[in-house]
């Protein structure tokens, strides 16, 4: 989206509890979006829906930031969004039934933010080094143990 709203500096990304996100890309450009419950979870019929954006996402955006009613939609994008639907957190560590297969998945938007620490922690585990981080809360077996900790704001 493009607008004549041109702040002097790039604004921080906004992630609303509803799942709507707004990322200022500078020079009057904003990237906005939201995963919706009825979004397809497949490669079939995989395209951006301008009408859905205008009818569902835009009203919420303008409700939160009324100045955005002047935005001009330049283009849209659709993509698969990897998320662990059981608790919204990463699944890390060696797969219990296949030695040598290590997991680092299920993040949703957290992966981008946590990737440096996760990369280090999983590499330490693969190399059998002293761990910097305790990965036990993120192990696959947490689901069997009932030790999930639901993320309240999945990005």
Per the structure, the count of domains in the chain is 2
Asked if the structure places residue 133 within a domain, the reply is yes
pLDDT confidence of residue 114: 84
Asked if the structure places residue 7 within a domain, the reply is no
- Spatial contact of 52 and 27, defined as CB atoms under 8 Å apart: no
Asked if the structure places residue 82 within a domain, the reply is no
Same domain, 27 and 57: yes
User: pLDDT-based confidence at 5, cuts 50/70/90?
Assistant: low
Same domain, 55 and 99: no
pLDDT digits (tens, 9 = 90+) for 115-144: 899 999 999 999 999 999 899 999 999 999
Asked if the structure places residue 85 within a domain, the reply is no
pLDDT digits (tens, 9 = 90+) for 44-101: 767 788 998 999 999 999 999 898 888 888 888 887 777 778 888 899 999 988 999 9
CA 44, chain centre distance (Å): 21
Asked if the structure places residue 104 within a domain, the reply is yes
Domain range enclosing 42:
14-70
**Residues 76-89, buried b or exposed e (16+ Cβ, 10 A)?**
eeeeeeebbeebbb
Asked if the structure places residue 128 within a domain, the reply is yes
**Could you write out the DSSP letters of every residue in 51-88?**
HHIIIIIHHHHHHH-GGGGG-B----------B-TTTS
Query: Whole-prediction pTM value?
Result: 0.63
Strands 21-26 and 102-105: unpaired
Asked if the structure places residue 47 within a domain, the reply is yes
């Amino acid at each position: 989206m493009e607008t004549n709203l041109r702040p002097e500096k790039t604004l921080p990304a906004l992630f609303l509890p509803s799942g709507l996100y707004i990322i200022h890309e500078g020079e009057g450009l904003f990237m906005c979006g939201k995963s919706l419950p009825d979004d397809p979870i497949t490669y079939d019929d995989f395209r951006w829906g301008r009408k859905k954006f205008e009818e569902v996402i835009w009203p919420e955006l303008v409700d939160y930031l009324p100045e955005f009613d002047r935005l001009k939609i330049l283009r849209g994008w659709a993509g698969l969004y990897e998320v662990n639907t059981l608790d919204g957190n990463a699944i890390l560590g060696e797969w219990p039934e296949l030695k040598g297969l290590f997991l680092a998945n299920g993040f949703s938007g957290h992966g981008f933010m946590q990737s440096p620490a996760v990369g280090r922690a999983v590499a330490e585990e693969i190399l059998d080094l002293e761990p910097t981080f305790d990965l036990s809360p993120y192990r696959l077996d947490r689901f069997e143990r009932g030790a999930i900790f639901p993320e309240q704001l999945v990005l």
